[in-house]
Amino acid sequence: MRIQWPAIVLIAALAAGCTAAPRVRPVKMGPADETLEGARQFLKGRWTLVSYEVFPPGKAPVQLGGAGTGSLTYDDYGNLDMQIRVTDQKIADALGAAGVPLKDNAISTTGRTALDFQNHKLTYILEGQPQLVSNASMGPLAMNRPRFWQVDGENLILTTKDDNGQPLAVSRWKK
């Protein structure tokens, strides 16, 4: 068997020319809801209350259940408007005893907010009012209390926590 030197040289040259090239493809940075802008877009719109619970210290939780309705609106500018109407007077009385401010059996929270994307924290921006005043007598929904948002599928969960990080109120919403 005779070896053809030109064929061997050609095969060696072709093999040397086939070195691996770096892959050129886009790097996936994650879906839009994994960015601050994606979070704003997710929150934007009108939401309907699914459930609402308040956890007064040392007492049984107060659950709104079917005894109320609510809506939450979040706009392009970070304004949040939450209105919850309590239809059962016993539940309204229990919420009032837990420190939840009710006016005409309604919970009303309105204001401009800022999102902390890393911690999933929502902070109200109150013009002319101090941000970091801690006053437990202001109740579980005091504007200075930290609020946290969480996405569960297409649902939004808002949790207000006390100074020790324990939930004081949890509301669940759907679009």
- What are 38-62's pLDDT values in tens digits? 888 889 999 999 999 999 988 899 9
Looking at residue 52, its pLDDT comes to: 95
pLDDT band, very low/low/confident/very high, at 128 (cuts 50, 70, 90)? low
Looking at residue 26, its pLDDT comes to: 45
Sign of CA dihedral 99, 108, 152, 43: negative
What number of residues does the chain have? Answer: 175
Distance CA 96, CA 33 (A): 36
Percent of the chain with pLDDT over 90: 45
Q: Averaging pLDDT over each range in 27-41, 84-98, 105-119, which range is the top one?
A: 84-98
Give kind and range of the element (H or E) at residue 91: helix 89-97
Note the pLDDT tens digit of each residue in 134-175.
Answer: 444 467 888 778 899 998 888 999 999 988 889 999 999 999
pLDDT at 117 over 90: no
CATH number of 32-174: 2.40.128
**Token pair in block for residue 161:** 């926590």
pLDDT band, very low/low/confident/very high, at 28 (cuts 50, 70, 90)? very low
Looking at residue 155, its pLDDT comes to: 93
Average pLDDT over residues 26-44: 67
Looking at residue 2, its pLDDT comes to: 58
pLDDT at 87 over 50: yes
Q: What are phi and psi of 123, to 5 degrees?
A: -120, 130
Distance CA 19, CA 114 (A): 52
Distance CA 51, CA 79 (A): 22
* Minimum mean pLDDT range among 10-14, 88-92, 94-98, 99-103: 10-14
Q: In terms of pLDDT, which residue wins out, 1 or 88?
A: 88
Max intra-chain CA distance, the chain: 103
Average pLDDT of the chain to the nearest whole number: 80
Helix (H, G, I), strand (E, B) or coil at 108: strand
For 23, 33, 90, 149, 150, the CA distances from 29, given in Å and listed in that order, are 17, 11, 50, 22, 20
